[in-house]
Homo-oligomer: A and B are copies of this chain.
């Protein structure tokens, strides 16, 4: 598909960067956004509920996109990595969140526009 075709599609959501939108990476980046000093592999693993393999793979992808800085060092004899959101990663993440907010608003409006039988409506969560 040519770029010109996609730009005309109002629901193509071009700005929804897949690097952040993927569920596991959204979790990792949200946690890191709140921890400016970074987090260890073990801390990230337990906060995000990911396996070693999955977390490694996603951290590597985020680092390759320059969204993450990973510092490798030794604590005594144990290797220890610390991941931190880069300045670029933080900026792009804020841009992603702005697009996501717009998508959420559109979707909520669309979904609310059509009546749902009351017995089928989900309980409101607050």
Q: What is the count of identical protomers in the complex? A: 2
A interface bracket (residues with beta carbon within 8 Å of B): 35 or more
**Residues of B with C-beta under 8 A to A49:** 1, 5-9, 11-12
Where the two chains meet, the residues of A that have a C-beta atom closer than 8 Å to any C-beta of B are 1, 5-13, 16, 18, 21, 23, 26-31, 33-34, 36, 46-51, 87, 90-91, 93-95, 97-104, 106-111, 113-114, 116-117, 120-122, 124-125
A33 with B122: CB separation less than 8 A: no
The CA of A67 and the CA of B95, in the complex, are separated in Å by 30
B103 with A30: CB separation less than 8 A: yes
- Known A-B contacts A26-B13, A33-B110; the reply to A95 vs B117 at CB < 8 A is no
B48 with A87: CB separation less than 8 A: no
Q: How far is the CB of A92 from chain B (nearest CB, A)?
A: 8
B100 with A104: CB separation less than 8 A: yes
Q: How far is the CB of A64 from chain B (nearest CB, A)?
A: 20
- Known A-B contacts A16-B23, A102-B125; the reply to A30 vs B47 at CB < 8 A is no
The CA of A109 and the CA of B101, in the complex, are separated in Å by 13
